[in-house]
Chains A and B, each alone.
Chain A
Amino acid sequence: MTGRKVVGVNVRKVEGHKLVTGAPAFTDDIEMQGMLYGKILPSPHAHARIKRIDTRKAKALAGVHAVLTYKDVPRVPHTTAGQAWPEPSPYDTYLLDSKVRFVGDRVAAVAAESRAIAEKALRLIEVDYEVLPAVIDMELAMAPGAAVIHDEPDSTKIYDRSHNIAGYILREIGSVEQGFRESDFVVEREFRTHRQQHTPLEPHITICWLDPNGRLVIRTSSQVPYHTRRQVGQILQIPVSSIHVIKPRMGGGFGGKQEMLLEDICGALTLASRRPVKMEFTREEEFYMARSRHPQRLRMKMGVKRDGTVLASQLTVLATTGAYGSHSTTVQGNTGSKVLPLYRAPHMRFECHVVYTNAPVAGAFRGYGCPQGFFAQETLVDEIACELGMDPLDFHRMNVIRLGDTDLLSAQLGEGKEGLPRVVRSCGLPQCMESAARAIGWAQKRKKFPSGHSHLRRGVGMACTMQGSGIAGVDWASAFLKMNEDGSFYLQVGASDVGAGADTVLSQIAAETLGVTLDKVIITSGDTDITPFDVGAYASSTTIISGGAVKKAAGKVRAQVLEVASRMLDAPVDQLDCANNEVFTTCACRKAVSMTDLAMQAMYKEKFQIMDGASHFNTDSPPPFCATFAEVEVDTETGQVHVLHLASAVDPGTAINPMQAEGQVEGAVAQGLGYALTEELVLDADGRPLNPNFLDYKMFGFQDMPKLTTILIETDEPLGPYGAKSISEVPINGPAPAIANAIFHAVGIRIRKLPIRPEDVLRALHAERPANLDEEAMFAL
């Protein structure tokens, strides 16, 4: 830790100035000569065949330059999931198809000279549908006689299309049967989670044009520029070399932009019209035509010894991916592989069916299957601890994964295939628990049971969670650095800053390694013509994987810098060091050369540019850890739950920029609070979204946030650059179970369904209100 000058420092974001001054940095912030406006005709039906589609009137409308239906485009089964090739998600999606599978599915697309003309053209497209029976309820998807959603013959990698099963997973470590037999107590409960939407403030947007060489340029708000380039090439059947993807500043992604959603159709409209085309989702479209979090039904069973030792855990999940299988098995695989190993049980079993329904498509979303799994597991664990008469904190202290442990479930359950065993090489979870417990006042508040006769009852609850840092053996990144005459460095990374601050963190890693101040690093990220490859921003990978590549590349460049300095200072390389934009001798007779003089020497005297690149990947995915503690107040007359205080303590390894790391926790907690209490995209019986707007879909706002205590417990991860792991996902997992457990502490009811709405709390209070609510005895069940 000693002597670091840039890493671990709360520097201002390198990209901050343009953001606070409103500089034109985002995808939409350009105006192009002759740019058309592209628009999709969404399906009004959840499940239908297009019997007849007539676009003649739309094409004849003045100002319309292209109208596309399935008849006009190549039919290439693919996935929209922005995953490394070969993608584990089913190839079940088409640019345009003769069948529609959810309300909002693509029927046709137009490009016109204005948005108004494009919208008018959509109304002029005549479509006759054969409406098919729809499957909206995931419980009915596998039932005999249920409508088959993917009956097309050419889709691939679907587990069992005749039963609408997109994917199936079964993994077991040890023998849960034996584990349950040897347990003193076995508890099994069912949990339900819902559809949350990412709602980045910048909806999906793409602008395409043809450059002077006829190459297709795609300017897009994407977490995965390289995967998008590959997939668009596959879908439009043009070479990857003829595509240039540019990711400008992104206005948030949260996993929703780990998806190729507009780039293919926008590119197709550009190729058809030979004009620049802009496509964007309206806010309403973003809610149901983009992606959401997978709803799940989880049955969780745990066996423990009388002393609280966990022997066996079993999680059985039914999830729906909606109409297409984007991220279907991978998200659900995470529900098992990242959740169950939190406890050191020798026996674990995870089984999951992911089914198709005629509903909006689910996809990657911050947490990637973990918020669902941890809600079930941590609520069940709290119940078990209370049943045993144990403090849940003691139960966690006793059972959670420790430094040096190997998680074997991860070895069985990787990214859609076998994975790699996960070894815990850094672990701040015990300190996370103790710090957050102190912050919330656990010891005092847990003892002081809700008493008195007020209708307002208070309680505290907790949850522990973990995540990964990149996908082991899959995610990789590269970086390139070159030195300029003034001693500054261009840093080129394929990494895609979603808005979380990766550009700053990666620049800090480069500056630290090179011994220069942060202003000497000029970063370009996510441009497929300019920057080297990176799988993209997902799976909490950017700091550890892309950062690893930056550190390696900077190490190589530093070696070149030292060689030039060695000649200039007439000193051996091993007696040189760099800091504060100069290279100096470490011996007593201190000699130094500035980076500027050094660069001039290299470029104009020695005639070479100091530059190098490197690639990086890991065969393990070090887990960041998080302890979330919540204090709530429950109104027993209305069922309203107010979170009074939430403490989130996270072990991210080294925090490269602690201020930004805190910001990740705070943002994840806000999203996690919405997931727990207020956010749900609701569908009617026909699969139509009922609340696709910010008034009816309630996110937490300025006035809704509780008191929040953010704690960073830094550890030193051997596999991460400067000891860093990751932070942006793990804190989203804790709020829901911590709040549910605090509600139990406050009023003695167990809520096992999200979001926790006042009506559900009230119903539960009336249904199972214990007679002895006011007595302390109830907690020693």
Chain B
Amino acid sequence: MKTMELRVTVNGQPRKWSIGPGDLLLDVLRREGFFGVKRGCEKGECGSCTVLVDGRAVNSCLMFAAKVQGCEVLTIEGLADGDRLDPIQGAFLDHGAAQCGFCTPGMILAAKWLLDKNPHPSEDEVREAMAGVLCRCTGYIKPVEAVLAAAKQPAKRATRKREPAGVAR
């Protein structure tokens, strides 16, 4: 099979991967050990595979890996700063917003995408921004509470913006 070289920054680290032209971002990320990216439907309907590509939440099951050439990808594994959790992650723990935890990475990244562009969202805005992620455990109540609580900690959120290691665009 023909392969191509993918240069991408994942969680701040530049990577060079050999991929097939039809490979999906979900499959490539999991193959490379980013197991926090979950396979829930492979049709862009459940949001469990959500990652941020250049800051934007996408369903990685719908995106060809080749599309992220030169991009910056953030997966759940890259959100905490060492042992220091992102306030969204901490809020998910404090509010009991993760039950089985399978959709949790997608939820947290959708929340990050929202709070990065809208640091003080209303409840409706939270629900709208996260509508692409389905959850069968929580009934969505505690995840919404968690995101709203995380939004009240802007200082903490601001401090953990990390400079990505350089990558050729």
Contacts and interface: CB of A to CB of B under 8 A. Distances in A.
B77 A699 contact: no
Nearest to A666: B139
Contact of A21 (B42, B80, B137): B80
Interface in B32-58: 33-43, 45-46, 48
A201 B38 contact: yes
Nearest to A286: B41
A125 B76 CA distance: 41
B133 interface: yes
A666 B144 CA distance: 12
Interface string A1-32: 00000000010110111111111111011010
A702 B138 contact: no
Q: How large is the interface on A (under 10, 10 to 19, 20 to 34, 35 or more residues)?
A: 35 or more
Contacts of B108: 20
A13 B139 contact: no
A499 B39 CA distance: 17
A346 B46 CA distance: 49
Contacts of A13: 93, 96, 98
A660 B137 CA distance: 11
Nearest to A251: B102
A667 B136 contact: yes
A666 B142 contact: yes
Contacts of B37: 22
A498 B142 contact: no
Contacts of A708: 139, 141
Given A283-B43, A693-B45, A694-B45, A200 B100 contact: yes
A659 B94 CA distance: 9
A253 to B, nearest CB: 8
Contacts of A251: 38, 100-102
Contacts of A283: 40-43, 45-46
A278 B17 CA distance: 24
A409 interface: no
B130 interface: yes
Contacts of B98: 13, 16, 19-20
A377 interface: no
A531 interface: no
B141 A705 contact: yes
Contacts of B104: 19-20
A282 interface: yes
B165 interface: no
Contacts of B43: 283, 693-695
A202 B41 contact: no
B131 A702 contact: yes
Contacts of B143: 702
B140 interface: yes
Interface string A238-277: 0000000000011110100000000000000000000000
Contact of A703 (B41, B99, B128, B141): B128
B127 interface: yes
B128 A254 contact: no
B49 to A, nearest CB: 11
B27 to A, nearest CB: 9
B127 A667 contact: no
Nearest to A671: B136
A24 B108 CA distance: 16
B113 interface: no
Nearest to B40: A201
A527 B104 CA distance: 24
Contact of A667 (B34, B75, B134, B138): B138
Given A21-B85, A708-B139, A202 B102 contact: yes
Nearest to A669: B139
Interface in B86-138: 89, 92-96, 98-105, 108, 126-128, 130-131, 133-138
Contact of A201 (B100, B128, B140, B142): B100
Contacts of B80: 21
A22 B134 contact: no
Interface in B67-90: 75-77, 79-80, 85, 89
A693 B99 contact: no
A501 interface: yes
30 contacts: A12-B93, A17-B85, A19-B101, A20-B76, A21-B76, A21-B89, A22-B34, A22-B35, A22-B75, A22-B105, A25-B101, A26-B35, A26-B38, A29-B35, A31-B31, A203-B40, A249-B101, A252-B99, A254-B136, A283-B40, A499-B102, A501-B99, A663-B138, A667-B99, A667-B137, A670-B139, A700-B140, A702-B133, A702-B144, A708-B139
> Which 6 pairs across A and B sit closest by C-beta, in order of nearness?
A22-B36, A499-B100, A19-B101, A251-B102, A22-B76, A666-B139
Interface of B: 30-31, 33-43, 45-46, 48, 75-77, 79-80, 85, 89, 92-96, 98-105, 108, 126-128, 130-131, 133-144
